[in-house]
Structure 1
Amino acid sequence: MEQPKLGKIILEQRKASGLTQEELVARCNINVRTIQRIEAGEVTPRGHTIRSIFAALDIDIAQWQTKATVPKGTKKEAKWIILAFFSGWLYFLLAFWEGFMDYQLTISLDAAISPWKYTLVKLGILMFYSCYMLGFYQVGRLWENNWIKPAALLGIAGIVICISADLYLFYLDDSNAMAVMAGESIVFGSIYIVFGYGLVKYQKEFGNMALAAGIVAILSGLAFISVVFALIGLVLLAVSEVLALVVLYRAYDEIHNQNS
């Protein structure tokens, strides 16, 4: 169910039942601020929150549910999305180690970095990031988002190219390292602008968290494309990834609650 329609329904039904927001809170065990934001149409609550409020107001949820808000997903799809969520966190954490090693190589080409550790970290990034992006592809398919789906596939293609280039430079030829790094920055910057816009399109489904994730991802992409501000882009990317992971979990939560 889309906002602001959901908020209006809850507001009207609460008033029709002669309840104050505080009395509704007492019935469904949700804090007042959350009720206020839902009624104002500022956020789209999770499925279990909607059910709790509707139960407290004696509303038949089946009467109001629409296909657009929560698409029907299977348990298998829910499992895939939660796997992508955990893979995203592993990628996020592993990226700090990757960044530290790449920084060492940038300041000194003779940095003492174990080849097998470097390779394993790069392959781990490739695997976890690809799984993470496939989760967003699945979400894009379920919620019919034609920006997220190609962005996710482009993200996988981009990480394959960049990891291959990194390993080539590490083992075979480091003479063009700066040019290759600039190219990688531009590639991922372009991808994250598309990905960010796709997240912005999820505002109705997942609230302001998706909007914030999308805006920060777009800013990160622009910083990467500039190359000069790539380091700022890395900081923005870290923030965007955390917000995007929250969005991914909310998508899982919606599908999981349908099948529970």
Structure 2
Amino acid sequence: MAVGARLSALICFLGMLVLVGPAARANCGVDAELGEVAEECDKSAATIEAEKQKYPTSTWTVRQICKDARRLPDGTCFNPSTCTTVEGVPGTRYVVFRDGEYDGTACLSAGEKESIEAPPDVRVLVIRAFERLEWPSSQLTVQPVGGKTLVNLKTNFYTSNDKPTSISVRLVESDVVVTARPIAYRWNFGDGTSMVSESPGSPYPNLDVAHVYEQLDEVAVSVDTQYGDASFTVNGGPPEAIPSTIWVNGESQDLRIVEALPQLVLQ
């Protein structure tokens, strides 16, 4: 067989494979034409919503994928590329952006598109941010001072951290101020005991928070602070309550429990 005849037969055979081969099917529900490879959509509305939970302060936008290059001034396609969502609803193919950066493609219905582009709820973001803010720990004061106290006598504990704290944050292009105050204190005495009080304690001679050590020892003491009674404002508006509370651990310090030894004094 001549070379030209062999080449013609090969081309014919390949053409038959294209015609009888199955249509490629895109993940987002688009049936490709015979012999074409369809571009896959790698996201659905559900996967984007999951990512919005992971990145709650991000801004999400989408842009239609067009069948041709013609667009209206607002970016809408004259001939948008259509698809079928995973729920079987007619949709449109979009390019997805997170904070202006390309984040993949998706097949979305009209309602899903509006939901994805809706800005995050500021209140939800504030409640999530409340526990991540750097609330100050309480500075512990122990009396007697000097890192030593006496066995079988009351040791006094207190902190001066009893005022509200306000922290400014920027969320969803809004100026937010979060305020909380100490509502409880957990006193860790270092000998296996602790107590919780609403009082921050007070300096001697008042013994609002006191502890008696019953044996000689070297311990690490600290006070943890629970913040609550919290609220926030948005762009200087009225305060709104936050139902959350959070414990902030205090820094520990060493304390020696010693015995008072009698001393002879010359008169």
Q: Same fold (TM over 0.5)?
A: no
TM-score of the pair, normalised by structure 2: 0.26
Higher relative helix content? 1
With normalisation by structure 1, the TM-score equals 0.27
Relative to its length, the structure with more strand (as a share) is 2
RCO greater where, 1 or 2, for CA within 8 Å and sep 6 or more? 1
